[in-house]
Structure 1
Amino acid sequence: MQRRKFLIGMGSLAAGSAAAMGTGAFTSAEADRDLTVSVAEDSNGYLKLSANGKGDNSLFSSIEENTLTLDFGERDLGSGEPDPQGVNPDSVMQFDGVFRISNLGTQSVDVWFETDMDGVTFYRFSDPDGNSLNGWENRKEGLGEGAHMTPGIEIDTTGDTSVEDLEGEVTIYARDADQDDPPEQPESEPAE
């Protein structure tokens, strides 16, 4: 719901109440109301996160303890060859379509990622250059009702980033696509 419309609606309600009640002014009011919020697993929420990406790369994602987990560590391929232990050092590796994000809500949303891991970029399509999803400025605009996307992940272990640094958290944001302004960032504390 757009805020402007909500405020206009409230103004009309207040004007109608004043006309019906006369001078019913008050200083404060408190009213208890019931509120029910159901928290669902990632695989059942309005922004559905599921491990079924595209092709073989979906083996790097799983739903564990009701949460989507991405793991690029050791794999048992059962092929008789030595099993991979993880990503290569001093490399840039790309994994297309690792997991799926589905919009099960009732409006189109913009989607983007924030992560505390240097060297990790979430992207759309098969090329992270120009297709990054990291940060609001790189958001996927207008993921429609019932639509889905299968982001890829680029892991860069060159330069100052070591393989040991690649453990952390990712936040996936989805916001009403009609909002053009960037979200407000929390104020950071001054450095000492």
Structure 2
Amino acid sequence: MKRRNFVLGLGALAAGSGAAVGTGAFSTVQAERDIGIDVAGDSDAYLAIEPGDENGDYLTGADTSAAALDFTSGNDQVTGGGEGLNANALSTFADVFSIRNQGTQDVELQVTPLVYTDIDASFFGGVEAVLAVFLVPRNPDGIED
């Protein structure tokens, strides 16, 4: 009985390897191929990140490198003399940036809400300050065609 199982096992193994050899299978291939990739700023990429119409001045770097949100006094794009966000306040900025498909294929885009927090014990003379930033898509299910 053991011998019969052993013989069947060898037969199946031989049939399997014969099928592999019979199909023209090979073990290694070496081939040279070229690939071309251009790197573009976020505003010119296939999936563009562009300043919004209302508060787009807070989006920096989209035209030359990687887009970033800048709510600091160092942001030269924002006029008016402000130096940052209010302490102990809820500030809301709508239409800071938009995302546009500039490629030839349809894309599916998912945006995960971003949460950032920071605690500074030296703020306001040792009184602890908490900074929380939430990035939430305005209308994730209402994307225009």
TM bucket (normalised to shorter chain) is 0.5 to 0.7
Give the match's secondary structure for 1:44: coil
Closer, same or farther in 2 for the Cα pair 1:115/1:33, shift >3 Å? same
1:41-80 alignment, distance < 5 Å: 41-51=41-51, 53-55=52-54, 57-63=55-61, 65-74=64-73, 75-77=78-80
- Deviation for aligned residue 1:141: 5.3
> Gapped runs of 5+ residues in structure 1?
1-17, 78-82, 126-130, 132-139, 148-192
Name the TM-score, length of structure 1 as normaliser: 0.46
Asked if residue 98 in structure 1 is aligned to residue 96 in structure 2, the reply is yes
Amino acid at match of 2:61: I
Residue by residue over 1:21-70, the C-alpha shift from the partner in whole angstroms, topping out at 9 and shown as x without a partner, is 9542222222221111221111110110112x032x12212336422232
The 3-state SS of whatever aligns with 1:111 is coil
Larger relative contact order (Cα-Cα within 8 Å, sequence gap ≥ 6): 1
TM-score (norm: length of structure 2): 0.59
Aligned to 1:190: none
Tell me, in whole angstroms, the C-alpha distance in 1 between the residues paired with 2:36 and 2:83.
Answer: 45
1:89 is aligned, of 71, 87, 90, to 87
Choose 1 or 2 for highest CA Rg.
Answer: 2
CA distance in 2, matches of 1:123, 1:116: 9
Using a 3 Å threshold, how does the CA distance of structure 1 residues 23 and 96 change in structure 2: closer, same or farther? Answer: closer
Unaligned runs of 5+ in 2: 1-18, 118-131
Assess if the C-alpha contact under 8 Å between 1:111 and 1:143 holds in 2.
no
Distance 1:23 1:63, change over 3 A: closer
CA RMSD between the two structures: 2.9
Residues 42, 48 of structure 1: 8 Å contact kept: yes
Say how many residue pairs are matched. 106
Does the 8 A contact of 2:72 with 2:83 survive in 1?
A: yes
- Counterparts of residues 3-42 of structure 1 (less than 5 Å): 23-42=23-42
Q: Determine the C-alpha separation between the residues in 2 that align with 1:41 and 1:30.
A: 35
Kindly indicate which of the two structures has a greater share of residues assigned to strand.
Answer: 1
SS of 1:112's equivalent?
Answer: coil
Distance 2:107 2:143 in 1: 5
